[in-house]
Chain A
């Protein structure tokens, strides 16, 4: 069964450093998303991406964040200058096409720890 994959599974970084989180969505999916979950809190939407551009972004997704689909398979989230409060689990998700656009499938996540 096709699945979303994410690397790395755990990333430790120093405050102020840049990190890139990588995702490989399900191959025929057209819509891509990033969510985050701070420990003990709910899953929060960050950004959606379709047709090589951002479709929607949340208030959390400020200028420090960017997304890119550099090739036909990878989907990345970059945090330019990490803060302590960026420590969270980051989930990539994908959906589509057609009727399947409604249902989002999540990757296993990257645990980001900012020291």
Chain B
């Protein structure tokens, strides 16, 4: 089983719609969880950290479900500029190596 798994997509989303997708992790000792956004051939950009029961930042909401070992990202009122690959990242230390999923591609269409 892969340590961090994501649905590769693509998720084709009409502009203004809501999209949500999950990321599962295998190590129950994982402590910190993050969502990054990656545009084509660019660096991962930190979108949100996900701690305890989750958090919200504008149109983006991240949730953590420790019992089922997954995190989710929900994007409301999708914009064309939200088109990107969303990477889930997990670590088991308070700092230290991040294990990334392969990413979920989101395509927002007019």
Contact = CB atoms under 8 A, between A and B. Distances in A.
Interface of A: 31, 33, 35, 41-45, 48, 50, 55-56, 58, 89, 91, 95-96, 101-109, 111
Which of B42, B89, B98, B99 neighbours the largest number of chain A CB atoms within 10 Å of its CB? B98
Contact of B44 (A91, A95, A101): A91
A44 B44 contact: no
B97 A48 contact: yes
A89 B44 CA distance: 12
Interface of B: 32, 34, 36, 41-46, 49, 87, 89, 94-103
28 contacts: A31-B95, A31-B96, A41-B102, A42-B100, A42-B103, A43-B44, A43-B98, A43-B100, A44-B100, A45-B99, A48-B96, A48-B97, A56-B96, A56-B97, A89-B41, A91-B43, A96-B95, A101-B95, A102-B49, A102-B95, A103-B49, A104-B98, A106-B36, A106-B44, A106-B46, A107-B43, A108-B43, A111-B41
